[in-house]
Amino acid sequence: MFFDTPVYFVFLIPLVFIYWRLERKQQNVMLLAASYFFYGWWDWRFVSLILISTLVDFFAARYIANSANHWRRRALLILSLTLNFGFLGFFKYFNFFADSLASTLVALGLPAVSVTVLQILLPPGISFYTFQAVAYIVDVYFGKLEPADSLVDYALFISLFPHLIAGPIQRPSHLLPQVQHRRTLDPERITDGVMMILQGLFRKCVVADNCALLADAAFSGSLGGPSLGVGLIGVYAFSWQIYADFSGYSDIARGSAQLMGFHFMVNFRQPYLAVSLQDFWRRWHISLSSWLRDYLYIPLGGNRLGEVKTYRNLLATMLLGGLWHGANWTFVVWGGIHGLWLSMERLLGIKEPGGRSFVRDWVARIALFHLVCLTWIFFRAQNLGAARDYLAGMTVLRWEPHLLPAAIFLIAFSVPMFVIDLLMEARGEEYVLQFSKGRTRVWVGAGAVGLLLLFSGNLSNAFIYFQF
């Protein structure tokens, strides 16, 4: 059940109408059942994974909070972390590490070992809800959060359907209290939710899906032989595709939650307007970058242990952040490049914006955007060999006539979203025209529906981050 399909809205709209006619406890029970139904739409067997980890984490957290025995508390924490990361590691990384082990043994000249590769289906969203569950148990262990009293409330916090498949990764201290307390029907917030959903659908169906047509053609070779022109169109197209795709998903998730009185954290703040990579990661996939900072980088020592260990911690955090995205060495390389780049910025004293000139900021933005685009090649490529070949192809200086309409097509779908981002950045908005009057938003909403009907792209393109 994808957010950009009619069946999702057949599911969502009646649910919202019924939801606001119930008391809080009834609302939570209904939303929990709906969330499990939503997740089970792909494969009902995966619901059992969420149920097992939910039960273990709920009771482990309560025992941790009520126990004064240090060793018992630590044992329960380890049990919870082992279960959550064990599920994630097995379902997402078993084949990756098995293949890597076999390849390493052969490279070392050792006898080839037959490593059984299982046909393991990846449960949707397992990376997202695992990180959310880990944040909960860790926060309870360190006394930052009181454990949930109600199993239904905690289960809903983990599985609330708008964030279940691809985030944003909700912090327990932000979402859990909203689950535990009464939500109030507010027509203004309902309007906000509808506008977020329309903005998300525009980003996904109009911008991302059309950019995907070019990106897929360039990376598959059907746009033409390797050349600088083909390479640039492909990497620019994918850069706007992944941004519009994931920010569009986040908008729909936040809007859907808003219809039911929940507030999800902002996950994107115009990242392609960043002036440094540190600034980029404070704007891109904010829920993940802040999770990695608080639950990995800082526990490793952050920047408190001297410069050398700070660089080590940055690199380790980004390597693991890259691997979190998928079981492929391309993601590790992508994360490693970002880690080295962050370390270089720190070494050179490149800081956040402030007191800089307008021209310098835009030079920095343009340079950073292109460097980020180059790293997306590793993110998009099927393997390291394909990434190497794509980069090598960009050294071929050849232009073909069919690339001009392709470039115009890309500009037609990417520039409008860039202009929208500029307006949102200038006005400090979470969605376009957030602070405008109701009539203006109605006309803009109607225009968005028209654009969706006219320019929706490839309907077979699932959200990119659903695979993570």
Pair 254, 343 in one domain = yes
Task: Tell if the pTM clears 0.85, that is, is over it.
Answer: yes
Residues contacting 307, CB < 8 A, separation 6+:
346, 347
Examine the domain organization and report whether 156 and 213 are in the same domain.
Answer: no
In terms of pLDDT, which residue wins out, 467 or 165?
165
Task: Answer yes or no: is 157 within a domain.
Answer: yes
Average pLDDT over residues 161-173: 91
Can you tell me which residue has the tokens 């926060």? Answer: 139
Show Cβ contacts of residue 438 under 8 Å, excluding neighbours closer than 6 positions.
191
Same domain for 369 and 394? yes
Task: Check residue 71 and give its pLDDT.
Answer: 94
Last residue of a domain, one of 184, 202, 236: 184
User: Using CA of residue 219, residue 223, residue 228, residue 229, what is the dihedral sign?
Assistant: negative
In a domain, 62, yes or no: yes
Question: What span, in angstroms and rounded, lies between the C-alpha atoms of 173 and 417?
Answer: 33
pLDDT of residue 467: 56
Within a domain: 12: no
Q: Are residues 146 and 224 located together in one domain of the fold?
A: no
Q: Which of 191, 196, 148 has the alpha carbon at shortest distance from 172? A: 148
Q: What is the pLDDT of residues 44-78, one digit of tens each?
A: 888 999 999 999 999 999 999 999 899 999 999 99
Mean pLDDT of 274-291: 95
Q: What is the dihedral of CA 282, 287, 182, 6, to 10 degrees?
A: 110
Q: Same domain, yes or no, for 157 and 208?
A: no
pLDDT of residue 119: 58
CB 426 within 8 A of CB 177: no
Condensed to tens digits (0 to 9), the pLDDT of residues 312-340 reads: 999 999 999 999 988 889 999 999 999 99
Q: Are residues 163 and 28 in the same domain?
A: yes
In this structure, are 136 and 213 located in the same domain? no
Q: What is the mean pLDDT of the chain?
A: 89
Catalytically active residues, by annotation: 325
Residue 98: pLDDT band by 50, 70, 90 thresholds? low
Q: Which amino acid is at 17?
A: F
Q: Is the pLDDT of residue 452 over 60?
A: yes
Question: Count of domains in the chain?
Answer: 2
Q: Over the stretch 250-271, which tens digit does the pLDDT of each residue have?
A: 999 999 999 999 999 999 999 9
Q: Residues near 60 by Cβ (< 8 Å), separated by ≥ 6? A: 76, 77, 79, 80, 137
The burial class, CB within 10 Å (0-12 / 13-18 / 19+), for 350 is: middle
Based on the domain organization, do 204 and 91 belong to the same domain? no
What value does the mean pLDDT take over residues 272-283?
Answer: 95
Q: How far apart are CA 361 and CA 368, in angstroms?
A: 10
Contact 297, 371 (CB under 8 A): no
The reply to whether 222 and 339 lie within a common domain is: yes
Q: Is residue 445 one of the residues assigned to a domain?
A: yes
Can you tell me the distance from the alpha carbon of 455 to that of 467, in angstroms, rounded to the nearest whole number? Answer: 25
Examine the domain organization and report whether 339 and 359 are in the same domain: yes
In this structure, what token pair is assigned to residue 104?
A: 């390493």
CA distance 265 to 278: 19
Give burial (CB, 10 Å; 0-12/13-18/19+) of 346: middle
Distance CA 407, CA 369 (A): 18
Question: Token pair 């260990």 is at which residue?
Answer: 309
83 or 166: which leads in pLDDT:
83
- 212 and 155 in one domain? no
Final residue of a structural domain among 184, 211, 244? 184
241 Cβ partners below 8 Å, 6+ apart? 207, 208, 211, 212, 215, 464
8 within domain boundaries: no
2 assigned to some structural domain: no
Percent of the chain with pLDDT over 90: 69
At 431 the pLDDT is 79
Q: CA 275 to CA 367: how far, in whole Å?
A: 8
- Examine residue 351 and state whether it is found in any structural domain, yes or no: yes
Choose between 116 and 428: higher pLDDT.
428
Residue 434 and residue 188: Cα distance in Å, rounded?
11
Judge contact between 195 and 168, C-beta under 8 A.
no
Q: Taking the CB of residue 157, how many other CB atoms lie within 10 A of it?
A: 27
Q: At what angle do helices 209-220 and 228-259 cross, to 10 degrees?
A: 150
* Cα distance between residue 289 and residue 449, in whole Å: 32
Split at pLDDT 50, 70, 90, the class of 449 is: confident
CA distance 364 to 378: 22
Structural domain for 67, as ranges: 21-184
Domain boundary among the residues 184, 211, 246 is at 184
* Cα 89 from Cα 209, distance rounded (Å): 31
Question: Is the same domain home to 175 and 209?
Answer: no
- 107 pLDDT band, cuts 50/70/90, is low
* 394 in any annotated domain: yes
Q: In the structure, what pLDDT confidence band is assigned to residue 351 with cuts at 50, 70 and 90? A: low
Query: Per-residue pLDDT averaged across 197-224, rounded?
Result: 93
